[in-house]
Structure 1
Amino acid sequence: MSLLARSLDILQGDTTMYLGYLLPVIVPLKSKLQQLKYDGLKFCDPSDNSILNGVQDRFQALFNRFYLINAACLHSKFKFDWITEQSEKDPCMQRIERLLNLNIIYTKKNQREERSS
């Protein structure tokens, strides 16, 4: 349960907590809780199951929100390392590349408009 306590400490931080921390902190927590479930611990099994179910119920929908995924992938501490499956990593990389290209195009357009006015 120390991982749960550490995860909560990070997420409740008031000076070092950023939006990009959310998903990369939840992923290892879910992974560890699932591992404990499959290891078949006798005494902690009910609490592990309830904690895992609570984490999944509360945070699962957040993994479909692109702004959270982008925030985590663009954070210098996490980048794409927290995404475990390559099949999930590739679309994320492509989406961020498109966003950056659009930002470059928009910036160049605004610079041209400012020069001409």
Structure 2
Amino acid sequence: MRRILNNLVDNALRYTPAGGKIQIINAQHNGQQWLTVRDTGAGMHKHEVDALKQLSMTTLTFEANQSLPQLGVGLAIVRQLLGLLKCRIEIDSQPGVGSEFKIELVTQG
């Protein structure tokens, strides 16, 4: 989880201009624990969010990185680690407004 959080915060710092806002929120909603990284950065278009949802270390290629430069290895690592942890992620992003990455934390029992 530390690597996931580091990668998301690193991206938020990279794409949020000076004077922007980055929030890290740990909250419970409908009995589920969620960790959210929200920023007021560059944001992404819908097709970029859709591409990110399909991104993994095995599908990350030079061509994909060229067409979607902000979707780099860091987010591919996040997707891969979340899959291993069986955690769900919700992504909301709008160009010029910012992005929100909301991770449902799963307790091991």
> Which TM bucket (shorter chain)?
under 0.3
**Structure 2 length normalisation: TM-score?**
0.27
- Higher strand fraction (1 or 2): 2
- Higher helix fraction (1 or 2): 1
- Higher relative CO (Cα under 8 Å, sequence separation at least 6) belongs to 2
